[in-house]
Every structure is written in C-alpha cells, then in structure tokens.
A and B are shown apart, each in its own frame.
Chain A
Amino acid sequence: MAEDYTKEGAQYGFHFDQSLCNGCKACQIACKDKHDLPVGVTWRRVVEYSGGSWQVQGNTFEPNVFAYYTSVSCNHCENAVCMEVCPTTAMSRRPDGTVYVDESKCVGCRYCQWACPYGAPQLNAETGHMSKCDLCYDYRSEGKDPACVSACPSRALDWGPIDELREKYGETNSVAPLPDPSITKPHLVISPHRDAQAWDSGTGQITNPKEI
C-alpha cells in the first residue's frame, strides 16, 4: 500500500537546498505542466539573486560577487496571512496543514495576493479565482511525491512534515530575497548557499523580476 502522504496534523512543508540548485527551473515547469497553469500564473518560481562589491587590498581592487537561486512556492505557513485576510475563507487549511484555495468560495478579490510576502497566490484570469500551490494534493493522495520535488534533477527539493524536515536539515528559513520569516512562519527549511545573505542585510538584487 502507498504511504499516507496526507496525514492529519502532519504540517507539511518544503526543504530547498540552495547549494544544489543550478537554476534550471525544472520544478517551475513541472508544476506548470502538472497543473496546466495559464500564461502568467506560476506557482513555483525560481528567483535569481545576485550582487557584489569590490574588495580593496592595498592597491588592488578585486571583484567580490555572488549569485544564487531560490525556488519558492507557497510555504503553507503556520501564520498564514493569506487566510487571515481572505474575506470568504476560500483560502483555507486542510487537516494535513497545507493551505489551499477553495474555488467554490473565492470571490477573486486578490487580497491574499496583496498580503502574501512570497507572491504565492496568483490570480487565474480564466476562472476569476485565486490559485496557488496545494502541495500537489491529488498526487499526495495517490501516494506520489509532489511534481516539483520529483522533477528536480539535482535533488534540491524535498518535502515532508516540517518537524522532520527541520530535524534533518536545520532551521534556516531567512535567506534573502525571502522576507522576514517571522511574518508568516513558513513551513520551509533552506540549506543555504555558501554566499547566502540574511533576509535583513541582503546586498543583492533579484535579477529576473519578470520571470517570477
């Protein structure tokens, strides 16, 4: 029998290994394909963050640059601001802890989209409803891994109950360009890139703003 991937109270989340990600965006495409998302709707996005400065040693100036990728979807946050602001309660939580949009209620007001600091909820103009990652609920109920996780060629993505992920990979969740994690308490663990910058002291910039 397949494993139960929709266990009540499991509080699922993601792990992302920044040091393994090479920015190929297979996860982004796998998600888009799996959920048949229209143009302009991207549930999982790969953000490129880069920056740099000059290092001065005596008379020599050396460039000191960095660039790294972060793959982000919805983090099924503990303190889900999207649910807090949603007037219809369409943005709601399944017993397994994942957050999803109940399309039978959503009025398409975009308030959740305004509030979420991860850009996770995105409006599907075809349906007039909000849409976002539900951690591949249908795949999970069949005992399969989420599409993005399986698709990653460098095995940079993992998922599971957040406590297990934290035990395995640590507690880091506050790498730039992600926001202050205390806002939503995301169910996300990141194994940081060696050049990773802290969320509140990042010196770089997102270099692919139109791709996310």
Chain B
Amino acid sequence: MNIHELPMIIFTVVAQMSIGAFWALGAIQVFGRYRKLTVSTIDRITDVGMYAVGPLLVAGFIAAFFHLNDPFHAIYTMNNLGSSWLSRELLAGVLFGGFGAAFAISQWFGWLTRGIREIIAILTAVAGLFLLIAMSGVYYSTSTIPAWNNVSVPLFFFESALLTGPLAVAVALLIVWTSNPLAKIRKQAKEPLNAELVAFLRASLRGLSVVATVAGIAIFVTYPIYLLALSHGGDAAEYVASEISTSFLLWRLLLLGIAVVIAGVFAFSKVQTANQPQKVLIVLIVLALVLALTSELMGRSIHYDGLWREGLNTWQTIAG
C-alpha cells in the first residue's frame, strides 16, 4: 500500500463514490417519476442515501487536507484556475459539496419549493461530473508521467464512481427497507412500505447491481489495455508497467472479481425473489460494497505507485 499518498487514495476513492452515489439517487428519482410514483414516496427511499453521501464527502475532504504540507495556505489553492487542474479540482469539489449540502439541508427542512430544490440537485449532479473530470485532469494532464497521462486514468475514475456509488446506495436502500431510520430521527410514525413501493425498491436495487456489475467488468477490461499501452510506451512507461504488475494488482482484481460476481449474480437474483429484506441479501450487498471499496483503494494505491516520470526521477520520487 502506498502509505505516502494515503490521503489522496482515500480522497479520490471516497469522492468518486459520493459522486456515483448522488447520480444513482438521481437516477432512482427519474425512474420513480417514470413509474408515476409521487415525489414524497420516492424521497422516502432516496433520502437516507443522500444524507449518507454528505458525511462521506466531508470525510474525503478531510483526508485530502492531510496531503497538503501547509494546509494554512489552502486559501490560495484556487488562484490558478486558468491553467492548474488542481485549482479546478478544488473549485469543483467546493461546488459539489456546496450544492449537495444546500440540497440536503433544504430537503430536510422542507425549505424552498420542490422545483428549486430539484434545480439545486441537478446542479449538484453536474458539479459532480465536473469534479470527476477535474480529478481525471489532474493526473491525465501530466504529460511527463506515462502511467497517468493515459486515457485509462479517466476511465478508471468513472468506472470507480459507477461501481462504488450504486453499491453504497443499494446498502442505503436496504436500510430503508429494513427499518426507517429517518422516521425514527424525526420521531414520525413509521409507515410500512406498501407493495408498490417495495416493488419499486426492488427494481431500483436490481438496476443498481447491474450498473455496479457493468462498471466492475469495465475495470477488468481496462487493466490489460492500460498495461499493454504502458509496456509499449517507451522506457519510463515500460518500467512503470513492470513495477505495478505485482501480486498486489492480482489481489486487487481478485477482490473486484468476487465483488462483481456477488453483485451481479447472487444479489441480483436474490432481489428478484425477495419480498422482504432478507439477511442473505443484506450480507451480500454489504459484502459486495466492502470488497469493491477495498479493491478500489488498492487500485488507487497502484495508481499512485505509477508516479515515475520520463526524465529525471529524484531521490524524493523514489522515497515517495
């Protein structure tokens, strides 16, 4: 594990998960409307997930702070939006977090009209896309580092968001199905989910596991292409390809494979028959999320191990 870049590993994986989760929640909203459910019913299913995304993202930002060697100068980090992808990443992060928080808070207290809240939600989703692009840009734009200056990097980031985000939302949906934590917190009467809502929830769970499975398979497909491109990309690229092709990478792929099989095969078929939130289903989805997250953290560690440049690598590069 690349301990030096641990803050960045955690930040990028967690931020991507929050983006993917927010998109997944948005997709469920759209899907519910297509099914002609009332907005407040759909909210009953998606709210828990949304309130879980916020703290996650905050945790990610706190982790990112540890990457800075002088966080007191953080106020200057948006000085160079004109040319620095890092400035752009920070701006996008602030926008995503800001819009997301505005949406979550107004949703909780029922402030503003539904229409305005929805515009804020759409802005959040777009800021999330901007954040993913900017995050990719930070690495992709470094033309001197072959392991980063490769289209696979933005692909990995998007795939990661679409793998972990939907799985996280699936866990949140299961929580809603099992108990209704929000009603408890708000001291409201607990209404059981009616048949229509359960059917909708099950369909959403199925959709989420399909997206996660496809994203996981896409990561699998991207790796060999990535390594092949590197091993034909000049001395520095070849060197880095051999450096990152380790048993650590195999373990990462193995965990990912198990997560994909669990999400795609077991969970998917279990959801189809479940009339209530069975224990097996909960265990399966939680396991898939944990494995996928672990695998992504390992993959991101490998990403940072790719810091090897064409040109001179100093002792500081070697030591991390």
Q: Are A210 and B318 in contact (CB under 8 A)?
A: yes
Mark interface residues in A122-160 (1 if CB within 8 Å of B CB, else 0): 110101110000000000000000000000000000000
Interface residues of chain A: helix, strand, loop or mixed (majority): loop
Known contacts A89-B80, A117-B311; decide if A128 and B69 are in contact (CB<8 Å): yes
Q: Which residues of B contact A122 (CB under 8 A)?
A: 314, 316
User: Smallest CB-CB separation from A210: which chain B residue?
Assistant: B315
- Within the complex, what minimum Cβ distance (angstroms) separates B279 from chain A? 46
Q: Are A108 and B77 in contact (CB under 8 A)?
A: no
Q: Which of B139-147, B160-168, B173-181 binds A?
A: B139-147
- Within the complex, what minimum Cβ distance (angstroms) separates B149 from chain A? 11
B196 at interface (Cβ–Cβ under 8 A)? no
A24 at interface (Cβ–Cβ under 8 A)? no
B70 at interface (Cβ–Cβ under 8 A)? yes
| Complexed CA–CA distance, A178 and B311 (Å) | 5
B284 at interface (Cβ–Cβ under 8 A)? no
Interface residues of chain B: helix, strand, loop or mixed (majority): loop
List residues 2-19 of chain A with CB under 8 A from any CB of chain B.
Answer: none
A93 at interface (Cβ–Cβ under 8 A)? no
A110 at interface (Cβ–Cβ under 8 A)? yes
| Complexed CA–CA distance, A109 and B83 (Å) | 16
Q: Which of B71, B74, B79 contacts A89, CB < 8 Å?
A: B79
Q: Which of A41, A88, A178 contacts B312, CB < 8 Å?
A: A178
Known contacts A42-B314, A109-B86, A179-B312; decide if A115 and B142 are in contact (CB<8 Å): yes
Query: How many A-B pairs fall under 8 Å by CB?
Result: 128
| Complexed CA–CA distance, A86 and B85 (Å) | 9
Q: Are A107 and B311 in contact (CB under 8 A)?
A: no
User: Smallest CB-CB separation from B90: which chain A residue?
Assistant: A87
- Within the complex, what minimum Cβ distance (angstroms) separates B51 from chain A? 31
Q: Which residues of B contact A40 (CB under 8 A)?
A: 315-316, 319
Which one of B74, B76, B144, B314 has the greatest number of beta carbons of chain A within 10 Å?
Answer: B314
Q: Are B317 and A119 in contact (CB under 8 A)?
A: yes
Interface size class of A (residues with CB under 8 A): 35 or more
B313 at interface (Cβ–Cβ under 8 A)? yes
Q: Are A108 and B68 in contact (CB under 8 A)?
A: yes
User: Smallest CB-CB separation from B4: which chain A residue?
Assistant: A110
| Complexed CA–CA distance, A67 and B11 (Å) | 44
List residues 270-320 of chain B with CB under 8 A from any CB of chain A.
Answer: 307, 309-319
- Within the complex, what minimum Cβ distance (angstroms) separates A186 from chain B? 10
Q: Are A107 and B73 in contact (CB under 8 A)?
A: yes
Besides the contacts A85-B84, A105-B76, A111-B86, what 15 more A-B pairs have beta carbons closer than 8 Å? Answer: A41-B316, A47-B312, A72-B312, A84-B84, A87-B86, A104-B73, A105-B79, A107-B69, A108-B73, A109-B77, A117-B144, A119-B309, A129-B69, A178-B311, A209-B318
